[in-house]
Structure 1
């Protein structure tokens, strides 16, 4: 089995659906380990493990979204076909959006895409780019947004392959360009009002990236709010609701059944 995806926790088949989680820039599968206790046993929880991350840390990281998506798509298509929901955080939102589109093209669209802590592709990154920052400046940025403890002795772990993976993911995110047409996959966008990275007002504009249902919800908790138990449990509930035993409109229904804010231009 491909090592592009790693299962979190013990398997409890038969599964009624599959939840694909995509971490932040430089993130390892362990970022989603606490989610296993919140995801129902009949939902398969798989987390992306990109080259240069986790157990693949000895591999050279990729610096573009397209080859990452190619690897993930092939890994998913090699598994039994189950209803899918995709959740991406920060860089993982860009990767999740591209993955959802690629699966859609292959006739296996996710029932729901959850994007977190990232502006929509209609706002492309412009210079100066984070991935081009000097090492000390990049580390300081990670500390500022909460991605690295402020203790100086902990910064030593952010050198070599680990920092290379962060930089490569940031480059992939910052060079990604929006396709000409939107996806047909329903989107749930979640953000934090106190996120030091993302402009909150841009999160509702993920509505421009889908021709299907769209909702958004606002939390507190900084840039990494998605990993807190309270937010994780709510997001998981939405994602799991999109994975029924049958039916073709599960993603739209999962959004319609909530009290999320609606944002349409």
Structure 2
């Protein structure tokens, strides 16, 4: 994982942590608007997956399990701090699975936030079979705001991006919903004009936790989370539930500010059954 750098002096010691997962094919720089908005005591760790950014020379992974296994070991090696997890689109799945693994290790986060991603009970939606060609995938990414039109003209830059996105899409396509829920509270986030995610399905993330659940909606499209104004609000929601290293967690309830949504009981019914590029 890549930590926020340059924001504090050499003697700085964080008291809380935020672990972030970008969209499919995304780099840590996707969260650059977040860095100056974080409270002074919060360390930001952003997942740096193989096949992109500083790890561009490594082969991308095409299954969720080995990705999460490596990330969980990395996180477990960090100095223990109270923390929250947030994933955007495909990153929501990684964040959810990381939360489950860390929970099994006795190192669960205080809160999991899932953004712009429908829950695992809709594993194959939306379909991406129609995005088989590079041209169609690039068109789709441009339409949803995932790539600038100027970038699509640079084959030397676009091809590594497409390889990373396709690897993440393959991992998403092979992902299966776990049989048990997490006990960590979940905050589901979405945007009213997202063309990829059905907003009405976000409340079904309540099926994935036995803890608290809330939902909060924002203005914008699929990549609303990277907007500075939206990011500031999301950060407040996230860190309000994370105690400092010297305080104790009084309970595991969510802050009351996000919109409340009734929690449905988890079941094993058939209903449970990027680009995400964004996912």
What CA deviation, in whole Å up to 9, does each residue of 1:112-171 have, x standing for no partner? 001000000011116953596121111111111110113475453554322100111111
State the alpha-carbon separation in 2 of the partners of residues 80 and 25 from structure 1: 28
The count of aligned residue pairs is 259
Q: SS of the counterpart of 1:21?
A: strand
State the alpha-carbon separation in 2 of the partners of residues 153 and 118 from structure 1: 25
Give TM-score, length-normalised by structure 2.
0.87
1:46 aligns with 2:45: yes
Aligned-pair Cα RMSD in Å = 1.9
The answer (yes or no) to whether the contact 1:205–1:263 under 8 Å persists in 2 is no
Gaps of 5+ in 2: 265-279
Whose RCO is larger (CA < 8 A, sep 6+)?
A: 2
Following superposition, the deviation at residue 251 of structure 1 comes to 4.4
Q: SS of the counterpart of 2:260?
A: coil
Change (3 A) 1:78 1:259: closer
Q: SS of the counterpart of 2:117?
A: coil
What does residue range 163-242 of structure 1 map to in structure 2 within 5 Å?
A: 163-242=162-241
The answer (yes or no) to whether the contact 1:131–1:167 under 8 Å persists in 2 is no
1:33 equivalent in structure 2? 32
1:6 aligns with 2:5: no
Change (3 A) 1:152 1:87: closer
What does residue range 1-265 of structure 1 map to in structure 2 within 5 Å?
A: 5-10=1-6, 11=8, 13-125=12-124, 128-130=127-129, 133-151=132-150, 154=153, 156-157=155-156, 159-245=158-244, 246-249=247-250, 251-252=252-253, 255-265=254-264
Give TM-score, length-normalised by structure 1.
0.91
Change (3 A) 1:227 1:263: farther
Q: SS of the counterpart of 1:136?
A: helix
Runs of 4+ in 1 over 4 A off after TM superposition: none
The answer (yes or no) to whether the contact 1:93–1:116 under 8 Å persists in 2 is yes
Q: SS of the counterpart of 1:76?
A: helix
Q: SS of the counterpart of 1:160?
A: helix
